Amino acid sequence: MIAAAKLLIAFFILLGALISLAASFGTLRLPDVYSRIHAASKGATLGIISVLLGVFFYFWFLHGMITAKVLLGIVFVFLTSPVGAHLIARAAYNTGVKMEEKSVQDDYEGYKKFMIKKRKNTSL
Amino acid sequence: MKKQQTNDVILQTVTKIACFIILLFSFHIFLAGHNNPGGGFIGGLMTASSFVLLLLAYDLKTVQNILPVNFIYVAGTGLLISICTSAGSFLFGAQFLTHSFGYFDLPLLGKTELATAVLFDIGVYLVVVGVTMTIIQTIGERE
């Protein structure tokens, strides 16, 4: 029973560490800001969540404590980390950071131009 | 020149949820400070940081409508509470800053340890919240 619990804990913590490692390789190797944010936010979120799950199971199975702080941390990271990535990406786009040259389509640019033209027409 | 209207729906919606989590956790840390890591200082800083998150998501006037408090008075009240609880030991013929504790039977909680150090900690908490919010609001108001 204890051995199975230890296996489960080790699985979650190693999985989280590997996902975090993959996320850091993604931020190093991907070409532009947006794909780097994609790798960093998703990978780091899932990695941290699995490490925290491993910690939660460790305290539950081996020490008999249910730590609500760790569960709250999981919920909080899951809630806020994608929003942080969204805000960074939007700030990068609004300050005019270029996408990679191989990228095909930019729908938001046309939308922004349309909105600016509409605003000019209504003000006249 | 008119300020450009930005679309902050995602940030504002998540702020509404995250603010309550931060506030609850700061109260937990404040009350757990006697036997666990935590206390008045870090609890006050976390409460102030939840207000700062509100300031980031909304503008200054909205937050002043939500919290119609002058934070300088909050800091002053905290100092007054701290001094009163420290000087309260004179009533019992003890030295300044002497604290005591006792065990009471509360209706819901059962046997609980109540210490006068918590009252002192409330003062520290209010001073930290007041000073942090005063600094940030005065910097933010300057155009």
Question: Complex ipTM, two decimals?
Answer: 0.78
Can you give the pLDDT at residue A124? 55
**Tens digits of residue pLDDT in A38-56:** 999 999 999 999 999 999 9
CA B57 to centroid of chain Cα atoms: 20
Task: State the Cα–Cα distance between residues A37 and A86, nearest whole angstrom.
Answer: 9
Mean pLDDT of B19-28: 93
Inform me whether the pLDDT recorded for B1 exceeds 80.
no
User: Diameter of chain B by CA atoms?
Assistant: 66
Inform me whether the pLDDT recorded for A29 exceeds 60.
yes
Task: Compute the count of residue pairs across chains A and B with CB atoms less than 8 Å apart.
Answer: 17
Bigger pLDDT: B6 vs B7: B7
Share the mean pLDDT of chain B: 88
> Which residues of A are less than 8 Å from B25 in CB distance?
69, 72
Can you give the pLDDT at residue B59? 84
> Among B10, B21, B25, whose Cβ lies nearest the Cβ of A83?
B10
Task: State the Cα–Cα distance between residues B140 and B143, nearest whole angstrom.
Answer: 8
> Among A72, A75, A86, whose Cβ lies nearest the Cβ of B10?
A86
User: How many Cβ atoms are within 10 Å of B54's Cβ, its own excluded?
Assistant: 18
Task: Answer for the pair A5, A62: CB distance below 8 angstroms, yes or no.
Answer: yes
**Interface test mutation site (partner A, options B6, B8, B9, B10, max chain A beta carbons within 10 A):** B10
**Tens digits of residue pLDDT in A85-124:** 999 999 998 888 888 888 888 888 887 788 788 877 776 5
